[in-house]
Every structure is written in C-alpha cells, then in structure tokens.
Amino acid sequence: MAVLTRLPSMAIINGFKGVVDFYYWMGIPVARKWPRKIGPHRSLEVREQWSVFANAARLWRDLTPAAQQPYVEMASGTIYTARDLFMRGYISGTLKFYTLPDNIQP
C-alpha cells in the first residue's frame, strides 16, 4: 500500500482501473495493486478445511434453540455472533456444548 498526499484526478484513476486501486483508508488517501481473484486452485490444506467448515455450518443449523442459547449468551457484549463462536469452537475444538438426547428433558 502506498500513502498519497491526495487522490489523483478521476481521469488518472480511471486510466489505472484494473491495475491500481485508489481509495481512502482511515481518512488517508492510499493506493495499492488492484485486488485479484485467487482462482480455482487452492492448496491442499485449504481444500481439506472446506469439509470441516461445511460440517460446522450444517451442525449450527441443526442445533435446537436451547443448544444455541449458551453461544448466544457467550456472544452478548462482544463483536462476535453466536454462530461465530460455535464455528470457531467447532473448528478449533476449544468450545464444546452438547445437546441432550430427545428422551431426556432438562
């Protein structure tokens, strides 16, 4: 990222479209290489995590509201959502809340 004294004219910005990205960051004019898509080729490590993330998303949808409630309580007052905490806990294995079997009532 390059810090600028001011943004250039729109003609210059348009001339660099697709090459340089001009924008304000925290009120400071900056420029950077134009963002690009990574493409379909990912590392083996990244591809292996896709199924873990998909499982976590499915499990969150399958949780009962009572099972989601502890995550809602943990997330209150933070920048995270209950789903964020569940996903993080599932993927890292640090947070564990279990649901009761259907035949047991709390």
Integer angstrom CA distances of residue 94 from 11, 64, 90, 91:
52, 20, 7, 8
Q: From residue 38, give the alpha-carbon distance in Å to each of 3, 41, 43, 51, 98.
A: 25, 8, 11, 20, 37
Write down the pLDDT at residue 95: 64
pLDDT in tens, the chain (106 residues): 899 999 999 999 999 888 999 999 999 999 999 887 777 788 888 888 888 889 899 999 999 999 899 899 999 999 999 999 999 988 887 766 555 556 655 5
